[in-house]
Structure 1
Amino acid sequence: MKTQVDSNGIVTLTREGEALVKDSPLYNEGLRPTTMEEHNWTSYNFASLWIGMSICLPTYAMAGGLISLGMNWWQAIITIILGNCIVLIPILLNSHAGTKFGIPYPVFARLWFGSKGAHIPAVARGLIGAGWFGINCWFGGAAIDTLLMSMTDWGNVPGHLWISFLGFWAINVWVAYRGPEAIRKMEAWAAPVLIIMSLALLIWALTSAGGWGPMLSAPSKFATTGEFLKVFFPALTGAIAFWATMALNIPDFCRYAKSQKAQVVGQSSALPTTMGFFSFIGVAVTSATVVIYGEALWDPAAVLAKFSPLAIFFGTIGIVLATLTTNVAANIVAPARAVENLAPRRLSYQNGALIAGFVGLLMQPWYILENFGNYIFLWLGTYGALLGPIDGIAIADYWLVRKRRIHLTELYKTNGIYSYKSGYNTHALWAMLIGIAIPFICKYIPGLTIVWDNAWTIGLLISLAVYTWVMKGNASIISAKQYEQVTSQAAAGKAS
């Protein structure tokens, strides 16, 4: 029986296929494959998604963190751009599965970890997303607090910083609660606004300082190549890990893509360029503040606080918009889907969004942001070591093991071929643990710390190789003939 139909590279369930699984405990409206009509995201939607997510306070501050560690401006910017070009590869590879089969990340994870085992990578990604949610809320809340103090007597209010933080957190949760379609619409108009405001800030800095400023002419603090590389590799891992979360759950968005071309063009054109561009603005504006104010102001809110009340008002709107577009898209969808996947019949995306918001508070973002060492090495480096192996397993399973063939209805069966033994694929568990353990052990072996410094990349490659090897001939792999037996081909140009 044909349970799925392929129309121009987009696979959807047939009526017969949907009837088979719609009553399954693993199926609900948020986790089901998308319909052909729901594949409506264009290249512009994906470009605006990444522009909206990349123009944020953590991006602005990232280059500053690298400069504080000893890099000069161009070393910091190149490190960030290179890291984003590297992470773009797994983003595009995992995007293909989401686009072709219309499945969200937790369902995609059932393919390689099993119907129950999928909770492991889904919750791991969700916890990190919730942590980022808290970090962005703290950035945004602190910025709003600074701006309010510059305009009013807000600083005399007891607990004013915490009030700003919790108020901004509540706004983020409310927007996220409205769902992915609301996110798409917000990103579409927010992206050009954020670009214009970023350019305005850069133009102000150049004209007010009479040039680029001293920071762009300051040399690197590293005397030798060896000294530079000791910072470069962990910094590169941090730059990769910045979006390593999205490399996993990008199917949550690409399941709505009109075509593979739409998601590839939109993402490739926007991610590395916007991250490099906005990081450079952070460096250039901070450099200008040395000339204008006699000190380096890395916090854009501190810069705006010196402007006129009208400029502060519009600047506050820009900061709120920049943080919202990043937070609700990059950091709440994945944990909300992970929570929903725990009990699809009892929990919804909206329940997940609320729970993720509260978990973000428990992650204590104020501690993570206490200094750049915590931010780049403790936070970004550590979770990069966790997510790299999961990324490797996802890529290996879809591209090397299954060769892009998925039996959709089996993903929603408690006893289907993707349930493995008792709902867990132990091959994936071992591949993940090996990919995490080897870099972690090398961290404590003299001469091998470079493996830990590149934990995301090396962990990804190790788990990819191990998983591909142990999954050879696995019973869950369907052949080309079996795939044809359940998949019908729609006439060109027609939707299912």
Structure 2
Amino acid sequence: MKSQVEKNGIVTLETQTAERLSESPLWNDDLRPTRREEHHWTTWNFAAMWISMCLCIPAYALAGGMISLGMNWWQAVMTVLLGNLIVLIPILLNAHAGTKFGIPYPVYARLWFGSKGAHIPALARALIAAGWFGINCWIGTTAIDGLLQAVYRGWWDVPGHTVIVFLLFWGLNVFVAYRGPESIKNLMKFSAPLLMAASLGLFIWAVTAAGGLGPMLSAPSKFDSAGEFLVVFFPSLMGCIAFWSTMALNIPDFCRYAKSQRAQVVGQSLSLPTAMGAFSFLAIAVTSATVVVFGEALWDPVAIITRFPAPVILLGAVVITISSLTINVGANVVAPARAIENLWPKRITFAMGAVITGLLGMAIQPWYIMENFGNYIFGWLGTYGALLGPIDGIAIADYWLVRKRRLALAELYQNEGRYHYRGGINWNSVIALIIGVAVPALGWLIPSLSILWDNALLVGMVTAVVVYTGLMRNHETLVSPVEYRSMTQMEDEPSLVSTANVSQ
């Protein structure tokens, strides 16, 4: 009997197979493959997701940081745009697997690391996401705290005012995440148009107050030669790529609900680079306008909003709260929550994983880390990019070059299936990861090879692709075209068995 059904490029489990696998220790209701009717995210859902996540204070500061390093406005915007066009490639490549087979990131990782080894890339992604969760909670806290002070001058005298705001905002983040990915989709559908309108309103104010775009964008580059520019350009470019490299790994968590490959490809391709490029231009233009209007460069949007009347400040507080909440829940909760529940699928749910993520985010004490925001952003992005680049490379090489998009879906949920490997770990992945991290690390240890570390994410990714593809050539776990046809009921074939999805 065939175990899986492929229709319009979407693969689901056959009814009896799904019922049998539901007893597996590797299966729970959050980690199982999506059913046919659950593939309902449209192009707009994906566009709204990226627009909502791009319109955030960290993205605003990322562009501003490049100006502070000496770039002019168009150099900074082009760096951001190029970085996001590059990171879009691994995002779309990994999204294909999530869309076609309906699997979340921790299950996808079983494919290339094994049923036990999958905890390595899943927890690596989870720890970074939990760190970002705490950081974004703190960014939102300081923004809201400052805006409350601007409205109510006695707020600073309230004992523990910052702690109060942090706990309330942290609780709101955890509550939304606790309700699951569907609540995240609904939040993004609402927040995207609101954030677009607010950003456009801020830009219109800046142009009007500064007397046009000319005075806003007149600051020249501080670099006297191409060499001086490149010294700043490459680390900045890697920072832009690393900014979304976490999402490049766990994008299957979202794309497993895609209505079609076209929906996720078009939605993401149109929204990510466009939203980041446009928002970066807005951030740079508005900041430049503050020099004309206020006599000083205000990189923090909160500092700008506090100069307005109380009604505008209150509206700004709402917008910043929604912005911080959207990116935090969308980008920094789903991956760690899935990774945590994957440790014990029969006992830990997504909701429990979300709560644990929130506690980890608080445990890193982001208020200490964020004392030096600029150095932290670039140091943090560059360092974890060196780790995630090779993992991204392994995932892409496995699905596209090694397996050529052919999977035995049911065996991802079997303890002794082909993707269990030996002892639950695919040691070829471990070797590729170690080499992928070691090669760019040479640039950190040897000054003459510093270009390797400056481009650690891409160097590690390419290295891992080459090593992993070579090690996995003709591996025993591969599914041949003939075998894939034998286990898959294709849409244009009549079926003698029920192909409905399990409805439990």
Q: Deviations over 1:219-255 (max 9, x none)?
A: 1112221111111111111000000000000000000
Q: How does 1:10-49 map to 2 (within 5 A)?
A: 10-49=10-49
Q: Which sections of structure 2, spanning at least 5 residues, go unmatched? A: none
Deviation at 1:365, TM superposition (A): 2.4
1:192 lines up with 2:193 in the alignment: yes
> CA contact under 8 A between 2:242 and 2:382: conserved in structure 1?
yes
1:277 counterpart SS class? helix
> CA contact under 8 A between 1:368 and 1:374: conserved in structure 2?
no
Report the residue type matching 1:37 in the other structure.
Answer: E
1:489 lines up with 2:465 in the alignment: no
Report the residue type matching 1:20 in the other structure.
Answer: R
Q: How many matched pairs?
A: 496
> CA contact under 8 A between 1:212 and 1:287: conserved in structure 2?
no
2:485 counterpart SS class? helix
2:213 counterpart SS class? coil
Report the residue type matching 1:75 in the other structure.
Answer: Q
Q: How does 1:68-217 map to 2 (within 5 A)?
A: 68-152=68-152, 153-212=154-213, 214=215, 216-217=217-218
2:448 counterpart SS class? coil
Whole-Å separation in 1 of the counterparts to 2:377 and 2:266? 29
Q: Which residue of 2 aligns with 1:4?
A: 4
Q: How does 1:407-422 map to 2 (within 5 A)?
A: 407-422=408-423
Report the residue type matching 2:28 in the other structure.
Answer: N
Whole-Å separation in 2 of the counterparts to 1:373 and 1:183? 29
1:254 lines up with 2:255 in the alignment: yes
The two structures have a TM-score, normalised by structure 2, of: 0.96
> CA contact under 8 A between 2:394 and 2:468: conserved in structure 1?
yes
Q: Which residue of 2 aligns with 1:440?
A: 441
Q: Deviations over 1:233-283 (max 9, x none)?
A: 111110000000000000000000000000000000000010011111111
After superposing the two structures, state which structure 1 stretch, 164-173 or 340-349, moved more.
164-173
Q: Deviations over 1:128-154 (max 9, x none)?
A: 111111111111111100100001111
Deviation at 1:19, TM superposition (A): 2.5
Change (3 A) 1:374 1:495: farther
Q: Which residue of 1 aligns with 2:266?
A: 265
Whole-Å separation in 2 of the counterparts to 1:368 and 1:378? 11
> CA contact under 8 A between 1:20 and 1:409: conserved in structure 2?
no
1:310 lines up with 2:293 in the alignment: no
Q: How does 1:209-288 map to 2 (within 5 A)?
A: 209-212=210-213, 214=215, 216-288=217-289
After superposing the two structures, state which structure 1 stretch, 342-351 or 188-197, moved more.
188-197
Report the residue type matching 2:230 in the other structure.
Answer: L
Q: How does 1:326-475 map to 2 (within 5 A)?
A: 326-475=327-476
Report the residue type matching 1:8 in the other structure.
Answer: N
Whole-Å separation in 2 of the counterparts to 1:216 and 1:298? 15
1:12 counterpart SS class? strand
> CA contact under 8 A between 1:213 and 1:290: conserved in structure 2?
no
- Percent identity, aligned pairs only, is 61
Deviation at 1:451, TM superposition (A): 0.7
1:5 counterpart SS class? strand
> CA contact under 8 A between 2:105 and 2:252: conserved in structure 1?
yes
1:370 counterpart SS class? helix
Whole-Å separation in 1 of the counterparts to 2:304 and 2:88? 32
Q: Which residue of 2 aligns with 1:289?
A: 290
> CA contact under 8 A between 1:101 and 1:255: conserved in structure 2?
yes
Report the residue type matching 1:288 in the other structure.
Answer: A
Whole-Å separation in 1 of the counterparts to 2:321 and 2:485? 49
The two structures have a TM-score, normalised by structure 1, of: 0.98
> CA contact under 8 A between 2:210 and 2:216: conserved in structure 1?
no
Q: Deviations over 1:400-455 (max 9, x none)?
A: 00000010110001111001111000000000010001101222213210110000
Report the residue type matching 2:327 in the other structure.
Answer: T
Report the residue type matching 1:341 in the other structure.
Answer: N
> CA contact under 8 A between 1:213 and 1:291: conserved in structure 2?
no
Whole-Å separation in 1 of the counterparts to 2:493 and 2:450? 53
1:435 counterpart SS class? helix
Deviation at 1:287, TM superposition (A): 1.1
Report the residue type matching 2:2 in the other structure.
Answer: K
Whole-Å separation in 2 of the counterparts to 1:335 and 1:213? 45
Q: Deviations over 1:162-197 (max 9, x none)?
A: 322222111111111111011111111211111111
> CA contact under 8 A between 2:216 and 2:292: conserved in structure 1?
no
> CA contact under 8 A between 2:15 and 2:500: conserved in structure 1?
no
Whole-Å separation in 2 of the counterparts to 1:135 and 1:387? 19
Whole-Å separation in 2 of the counterparts to 1:372 and 1:440? 24
After superposing the two structures, state which structure 1 stretch, 14-23 or 26-35, moved more.
14-23
Q: Deviations over 1:302-361 (max 9, x none)?
A: 111111111111111110111111111111000000001000001000000000011112
Change (3 A) 1:317 1:373: closer
1:217 counterpart SS class? coil
Whole-Å separation in 2 of the counterparts to 1:347 and 1:84? 35
> CA contact under 8 A between 2:109 and 2:122: conserved in structure 1?
yes
After superposing the two structures, state which structure 1 stretch, 271-280 or 438-447, moved more.
438-447
Q: Which residue of 1 aligns with 2:50?
A: 50
